[in-house]
Structure 1
Amino acid sequence: MKQSFFTIVSFLFIVFTASEVNSQSYTKQELRDSIAKLPYFSIHKDNYFITGVPTNKTINKNTANAKYQISFKQILTRSRLPLDTYLFMTYTQRSFWNIYKESFPFSDINFNPSIALGKAFFDKNDKLKGIANLSFEHESNGRDSIFSRSWNRLSLEYTTNVAKNTIGRFKVWVPFGYKEGNPDLLEYTGLGQINLSHIIKPDKFFFDVRVRKGLNFDLKGSIRTRVYFNPFDNNISNQYLMLEWFLGQAEGMLNYKQSQSMIRIGYVIRTNEFRWLGGK
């Protein structure tokens, strides 16, 4: 995992310095007008169906699989709440599907609902600097007995531009209600994550990496890298092909201790939840 980490860092340096996009930041009023036009129901995280194979074990019908995710967001109020915040709820479901085995069984299904407050931050010139979300989240696999996995967390996430054409999402959480069924979960998920998304070519080519580090001084954690490519001339639906490499532990709740190195490819409807930070 250490060698792979340095490979990814080197690639990130090349990608993050290889493109250029000119844009202007939203003002406070422009952002409010844009939010007022949003549909109440929209995509939250990426919605995708991808399939692939492991790189750290023999490839066969038991190790190859598919993964898909459904994620949406419902705005509960557009009227400004105290501290100029707005309230919304989200739901994300991520499933691991053994489509190459007989009867096509699901090996794990993870459910992640949340309710959150969002707030935008501006500089002294009323230009958008970042967006913060304070969330109460629950995540579980919906099973019982020895197969039950669940945890709750109070999460704080801040999204902002960290470099030219690069959006960073920094998330920390205070976990609770996890010690029955998965008491050592934090050794694999840690107390937060960093997500960097870089525009290589607008509406055509993106690169994304997410890093988690477990609590202990070892290599437990995960690195998830994604490359998005739009092969279509007209992309009004935000549709892409996605290549994903997941390396580490806790990709799913059930076998969170198991080390994985999976490369998958497939179709994604990419989220544009923080498109305002890309400018006008």
Structure 2
Amino acid sequence: MSKKILLFLSLLMNIVVFSQEKDTLQTAQENPDTSIFKGGFSEPIDRMWELREPYKRGTFSLKAHRPNYIILSRYSSLPNRQPVSLNANREVPEYKNFQNIEAKFQVSLKAKVLQGAFWNKGDLWVGFTQQSFWQVYNGKMSRPFRETNYEPELMFIYPLNLTAGKFRIKMAGISVNHQSNGKEELLSRSWNRLILMTAFEWGDFAITNKLWQRFTEKGDDDDNPSIEEYVGRTEFTIGYTRKKHIFSLVLRNNLNIKHNRGFAEFS
């Protein structure tokens, strides 16, 4: 199933890249600058998902999905030198002497492939995110990539306009998400999720919540048994912008009271 999902989403992304060669000059003339820095950060969710005019840019126009960044040097106190799957049938990889200092980068893009799907509302998007950990300073090991993860997804976003004072619900959505390290079967680490999402604004804050359910895989097909106990089952992203500076807080939790695990990242 995961291979079929990955193939389908890859084909959609190829269509997006090919169609990006359309007349971008005409698009720029017909649509105002929708940069989040244009005139501050008002209505960030409308801009991010092109929920209404004048932010709509039509279909097959690439834009940032998740943050795109390069970290030239990061320190990890305990890098995973021998990742092991909980699936007993998966091969145990060779121990590798990875360094604690490495580079990290992420590339994340999305494009709308269908606009106004239901009653002239609701858009279909495809997205792709690649995150890599590069042992660029590890000359003894010929500077390998310690880990690279690929995450294509298909998303349906429906605009909402529900308000209560400063609290505004802006959209709801659903997505099919595949995440994989792109390696062969015995070393493969992949899983598939159905994600429900909603986004709202409260004053100057933009907040996105995701709640997901993993697609069940049985026996040898399961690369990551119990991965949701570690990666989590829900995520909150809180964003705030001051002039041209964006601050964000990401919170994840596995929603397991007995064996609770969480994740927090501020940037």
Give the TM-score normalised by structure 2.
0.65
Contact 2:161 2:171 in 1 (8 A): no
Residue 64 (str. 1) matches residue 101 (str. 2): yes
Contact 2:60 2:113 in 1 (8 A): no
User: Mind listing any 5+ residue stretches in structure 1 that lack a counterpart?
Assistant: 1-20, 227-280
Residues 118-158 of structure 1, C-alpha deviations (whole Å, 9 max, x = no match):
11101379x97312221111111111244211111111111
Provide the residue aligned with 1:169 in structure 2. 208
Contact 1:111 1:142 in 2 (8 A): yes
State how far apart, in whole Å, the 2-side matches of 1:145 and 1:24 are.
44
Contact 1:197 1:208 in 2 (8 A): yes
Which of 1 and 2 has greater Rg? 2
Contact 2:149 2:181 in 1 (8 A): yes
Residues 161-189 of structure 1, C-alpha deviations (whole Å, 9 max, x = no match):
13x31111100111114561210201102
Contact 2:127 2:154 in 1 (8 A): yes
Provide the residue aligned with 2:136 in structure 1. 99
* Cα displacement (A) at 1:55: 5.1
* Cα displacement (A) at 1:52: 1.0
Q: Say which of 240, 245, 250 aligns to 1:198.
A: 240
State how far apart, in whole Å, the 1-side matches of 2:185 and 2:42 are.
53
Provide the residue aligned with 2:178 in structure 1. 138
CA 1:139–1:178 in 2, change beyond 3 Å: closer, same or farther? Answer: farther
State how far apart, in whole Å, the 2-side matches of 1:156 and 1:72 are.
20
Instruction: Name the Cα RMSD after superposition.
Output: 3.1
State how far apart, in whole Å, the 2-side matches of 1:106 and 1:22 are.
36
CA 1:183–1:24 in 2, change beyond 3 Å: closer, same or farther? Answer: closer
Provide the residue aligned with 2:223 in structure 1. 181
Residue 34 (str. 1) matches residue 55 (str. 2): yes
CA 1:184–1:197 in 2, change beyond 3 Å: closer, same or farther? Answer: same
Q: What SS class does the counterpart of residue 187 from structure 1 fall into?
A: helix
Corresponding letter in the other structure for 1:202: K
Contact 2:59 2:111 in 1 (8 A): no
Provide the residue aligned with 2:187 in structure 1. 147
User: Mind listing any 5+ residue stretches in structure 2 that lack a counterpart?
Assistant: 1-39, 80-96
Corresponding letter in the other structure for 1:90: G
Count of aligned pairs: 197
Q: Say which of 160, 179, 203 aligns to 1:121.
A: 160
Contact 1:188 1:215 in 2 (8 A): no
Corresponding letter in the other structure for 2:155: A
Query: Which protein is richer in strand relative to its size?
Result: 1
CA 1:93–1:177 in 2, change beyond 3 Å: closer, same or farther? Answer: farther
Provide the residue aligned with 1:53 in structure 2. 75
Percent identity (aligned): 26
Residue 88 (str. 1) matches residue 125 (str. 2): yes
* Cα displacement (A) at 1:99: 1.0
Contact 1:77 1:87 in 2 (8 A): yes
Contact 1:137 1:154 in 2 (8 A): yes
State how far apart, in whole Å, the 2-side matches of 1:104 and 1:146 are.
24
| Greater relative contact order structure (CA < 8 Å, 6+ sep) | 1
Corresponding letter in the other structure for 1:222: F
State how far apart, in whole Å, the 2-side matches of 1:220 and 1:175 are.
17
CA 1:104–1:94 in 2, change beyond 3 Å: closer, same or farther? Answer: same
State how far apart, in whole Å, the 2-side matches of 1:24 and 1:215 are.
31
